[in-house]
Amino acid sequence: MSITLVSIIVFVAITLIGIAAGMWIRDLFFAGAGMSGVAVPARRLRRLPTVFDAVADKTLLGRIDQGFERLVLESGSQFTSSAFFLLLMLCAIVAGGILGFLEDDPLLGVGGAMLGILLPMLFIVFQRMRRMSRIREELPIVLDMIARTTRAGKSVDQTLDLVAAEVTGPLGGEFRQCSRQLEMGRSFEGSVRSMAARVRLIEMQILATTLVVQRGSGGNLSETLDRMAAVVRERMVAYRQMMAATGAGRVSTMIVASIGPFAYLFLLLAHRPHLQSLFDDPLGRLMLLVALLLEIAGLAWVFALLRSDD
Whether 188 has a pLDDT exceeding 80, the answer reads: yes
**In this structure, what DSSP letter does residue 51 have?**
G
Angle subtended at Cα 64 by Cα 96 and Cα 236, rounded to the nearest 5 degrees:
105
Q: Spell out the residues 6+ positions from residue 309 whose beta carbon is closer than 8 angstroms to its own.
A: 202
pLDDT surpassing 80 at residue 74: yes
Average of per-residue pLDDT across 227-235:
86
Nearest CA-CA partner of 25 in 14, 33, 34:
33
140, 142, 146, 148 alpha-carbon torsion, rounded to 10°: 70
145 C-beta neighbours (distance < 10 Å), count: 17
Question: How many CA atoms lie within 13 Å of 82's alpha carbon, on the beta-carbon side?
Answer: 11
pLDDT interval class at 235 (50, 70, 90): confident
The pLDDT value recorded for residue 38 is: 35
Q: Which of 140, 129, 127 shows the shortest CA–CA distance to 200?
A: 129
66, 56 contact by CB (below 8 A): yes
With beta carbons less than 8 A apart as the criterion, state whether 214 and 224 touch: yes
Domain boundaries defined on the chain: 132-245, 248-310
Checking if the pLDDT of 310 tops 70, the result is no
Q: Give mean pLDDT, residues 101-130.
A: 79
- pLDDT for 29 equals 55
309 has pLDDT over 70: no
Task: List pLDDT tens digits, range 248-270.
Answer: 877 887 787 778 777 777 777 77
Could you read off the pLDDT of 7-36 as tens digits, one per residue? 666 666 677 677 767 666 665 555 443 333
**Residue 153 backbone class (left: φ over 0; alpha: ψ -120 to 50; beta: rest):** left
150 CB burial (10 A radius; 0-12, 13-18, 19+): buried
Q: Percent of the chain at pLDDT above 90?
A: 0
CA end-to-end span of the chain: 49
Average pLDDT score, the chain? 77
What residues have CB less than 8 Å from 196, skipping those under 6 apart?
204, 205, 207, 208
Residue of 62, 27, 68, 67 whose CA lies nearest to 48: 27
CATH domain 132-245 topology:
Receptor-associated Protein (1.20.81)
CA distance 109 to 132: 35
Return the amino acid letter for 130. Answer: R
pLDDT of 58-70, one tens digit each? 787 778 888 888 8
Dihedral sign for Cα atoms in the order 192, 133, 301, 294: positive
